[in-house]
């Protein structure tokens, strides 16, 4: 789960990292009032996406009237696909240097990694690509945690001696926040040094591990909404991963790998998948609710059911599909390819209750579903 700046920064403050005073505003009037309390400020679009500055979502305001005008302009923008519905009114901070600091899950070292760069700001990715040495990467042994020695190493030799103790504190606190929040990513960009040598986090991107949500209940309540369609929300409610796509061939498969593959094969044969919907893992008993969600998408012209049961029992999944099919009586054609665990029973059920013969080869089922979606019958 992702966190917007206004939700992430208080979590950083709780861990001892200094952030500027700020207030959240839901409309220009609130923005004006907040600016009156805070003084010269920055009006910042709140969306769980990057590149807000480049999209015109971050503007300086010298006074409350200007803050109001900026809020009027920013609220309603669409940034990274997200409509801006709120702005953060934050006190302006004088900047001497802009740094970059992050802690991220690193799959290569199978542990946390500290990233630090003296070249923070909007173009940090480009700077790191152009000059890899400018981005320091220090793997952290999770059994020992981040120690002061490693933190010192991250910042040494960069002309940061005057603020070294404060910077080291920030890095240690950042790591503490990372661990205590089950974070996948905490990124402070920029981490600024003020002319009077204070170290302040001007922005914060936070992603917390979805798998840890049940033990991060307090923080999870502050997470940014997930961008999803009505059907996607309904699927999420049912514990299913469903993504709406533009095409016309409905896809019901088990396991993310097979589902992605099914989409690829549909495209190979000239069709377009209408959705990603997988019911593998523990969700394999949910094929009835899965199918009803899928059929609510009016773009679906044919349905491809592709099961390759390993853990997931195809007989259980097929029975759910058949029950739903009999209930909903959809008027689109359905095509089956069923193999693996429970396939004999599943194939027998499909034949006896729907009078449909599943295909022996997945490619044949895909071709038939693509042809049917295009209004053709397979020769």
Partner 1 sequence: MIPRKADRILIQGITGKQGSFWSKAMQDYGSTIVAGVNPAKAGSEHLGVPVFASAREAAKSTPFDIACMFIPPMLAKVAAIDACEAGAKLLVCLTEHIPAHDVMEMHVAARATGTRIVGPNTAGLVTVGECFIGIMPAFNDRVFRPGHVGVISRSGSLGTLVSLNLTQSGLGQSVFYGVGGDPMIGTNTADALRILDGDAGTHAIVLCGEIGGTAEEEAADYARSMTKPVVAFLAGRQSPPDKKMGHAGAIVSGGKGDYASKRKALEDAGVTVADLPSQIPALIAARLTATASNDAPRSPR
Q: How far is CA 235 from CA 17, 48, 316, in A?
A: 38, 22, 19
Residues 230-249 that bind partner 1 (CB under 8 A): 243, 245
State the binding string over 59-98 for partner 1 (x if CB under 8 A, else -): ---------------------x------------------
Of 254, 275, 287, 302, the one binding partner 1 by CB under 8 A: 254
**Minimum distance between the CB of residue 346 and partner 1, rounded to whole angstroms?**
12
Please name which of 353, 247, 248 lies closest in space to residue 302, comparing C-alpha atoms. Answer: 248
Neighbours of 107 (CB within 10 A): 8
Provide φ and ψ at 204, rounded to 5°. Answer: -150, 125
Q: Decide: is 184 part of the binding site for partner 1 (CB under 8 A).
A: yes
Strands of 249-253's sheet in order across: 241-244, 275-278, 249-253, 302-309, 334-340
Q: Which two tokens stand for residue 31?
A: 């923005």
Binding residue (CB under 8 A) for partner 1 from 191, 265, 300, 372: 265
Interface with partner 1 (CB under 8 A), residue from 147, 209, 323, 332: 209
Non-local (6+) Cβ contacts of 165 within 8 A are none
Catalytic residue among 4, 5, 32, 187: 187
- At a CB cut-off of 8 Å and minimum separation 6, what does 158 contact? 118
- Report 5-24 residues binding partner 1 (CB under 8 A): none
Residue 237, token pair as written in the block: 């409610």
Is 178 marked active-site?
Answer: no
Near partner 1 by CB under 8 A: residue from 25, 34, 258, 293: 258
Residue 141 binding partner 1, by CB under 8 A: yes
- Give the one residue of 10, 39, 53, 340 binding partner 1; rule: CB under 8 A: 340
- Give the footprint of partner 1 on residues 341-360 (CB under 8 A): 341, 343, 360
What's the CA gap between 286 and 234, in Å, rounded?
13
Q: For residues 358 and 314, give the distance between their C-alpha atoms in angstroms, rounded to a whole number.
A: 13
Give 23 or 86: the residue with its C-beta nearer to partner 1.
86
State how far the Cα of 2 lies from the Cα of 48, in Å rounded to an integer. 6
With CB under 8 A as the contact rule, the residue among 264, 326, 327, 357 that binds partner 1 is 264
- Catalytic residue (one of 100, 175, 178, 242): 100
Q: Within a 13 Å sphere around the CA of 307, how many CA atoms are in the beta-carbon half?
A: 34
Query: Residue 78 or residue 162: which is nearer to partner 1 going by CB?
Result: 78
How is residue 5 written in tokens? 């700046």
As a whole number of angstroms, the distance between CA 236 and CA 213 comes to 14
Residue 273 makes contact with partner 1 by CB under 8 A? yes
Stretch of 16-24, 55-63, 272-280, 288-296 contacting partner 1, by CB under 8 A: 272-280
Interaction of residue 110 with partner 1, rule CB under 8 A = yes
**84 alpha carbon, distance to own chain's centre:** 17
Least spacing, CB of residue 276 vs partner 1, in Å: 7
| Smallest separation, CB 228 to partner 1 (Å) | 12
User: d(Cα 77, Cα 94) in Å, to the nearest integer?
Assistant: 27
- The residues in 147-176 that bind partner 1, with binding defined as CB under 8 A, are none
Catalytic annotation on 184? no
Binding residue for partner 1, selected from 22, 43, 48, 57, defined by CB under 8 A: 48
Residues in the interface with partner 1 (CB under 8 A) total 76
Among 26, 78, 310, 348, contact with partner 1 (rule: CB under 8 A):
310
Chosen residue from 119, 312, 350, 371 binding partner 1 by CB under 8 A = 312
Rounded to whole angstroms, the Cα distance separating 177 from 192 reads 19
Active-site amino acid positions: 100, 187
């Amino acid at each position: 789960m992702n966190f917007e700046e206004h939700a992430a920064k208080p979590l950083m403050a709780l861990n001892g990292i200094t952030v500027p005073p700020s207030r959240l505003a839901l409309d220009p009037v609130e923005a004006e009032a907040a600016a009156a309390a805070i003084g010269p400020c920055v009006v910042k679009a709140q969306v769980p996406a990057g590149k807000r500055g480049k999209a015109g979502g971050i503007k300086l305001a010298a006074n409350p009237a200007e803050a109001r005008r900026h809020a009027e302009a920013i609220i309603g923008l669409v940034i990274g696909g997200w409509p801006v519905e709120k702005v953060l009114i934050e006190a302006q901070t004088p900047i001497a240097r802009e740094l970059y600091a992050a802690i991220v899950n690193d799959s290569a070292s199978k542990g946390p990694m500290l990233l630090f760069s003296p070249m923070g700001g909007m173009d940090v990715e480009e700077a790191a690509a152009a000059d890899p040495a400018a981005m320091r990467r220090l793997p952290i042994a999770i059994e020992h945690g981040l120690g002061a020695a490693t933190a010192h190493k991250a910042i040494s030799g960069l002309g940061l001696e005057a603020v070294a103790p404060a910077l080291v504190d920030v890095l240690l606190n950042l790591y503490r926040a990372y661990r205590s929040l089950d974070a996948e990513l905490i990124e402070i960009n920029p981490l600024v040094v003020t002319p009077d040598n204070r170290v302040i986090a001007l922005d914060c991107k936070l992603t917390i591990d979805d798998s840890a949500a049940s033990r991060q209940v307090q923080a999870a309540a502050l997470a940014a909404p997930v961008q999803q369609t009505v059907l996607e929300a309904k699927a999420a409610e049912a514990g299913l991963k469903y993504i709406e796509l533009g095409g016309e061939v409905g896809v019901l498969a088990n396991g993310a790998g097979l589902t992605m593959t099914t989409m690829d094969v549909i495209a190979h044969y000239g069709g377009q998948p209408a959705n990603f919907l997988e019911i593998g893992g523990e969700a394999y008993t949910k094929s009835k609710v899965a199918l009803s969600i899928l059929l609510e998408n009016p773009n679906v012209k044919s349905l491809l059911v592709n099961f390759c049961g390993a853990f997931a029992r195809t007989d259980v999944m097929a029975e759910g599909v058949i029950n739903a099919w009999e209930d909903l009586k959809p008027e689109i054609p359905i095509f089956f390819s069923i193999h693996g665990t429970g396939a004999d029973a599943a194939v027998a059920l499909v034949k006896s209750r729907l009078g449909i013969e599943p295909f022996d080869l997945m490619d044949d089922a895909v071709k038939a579903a693509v042809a049917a979606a295009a209004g053709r019958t397979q020769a």
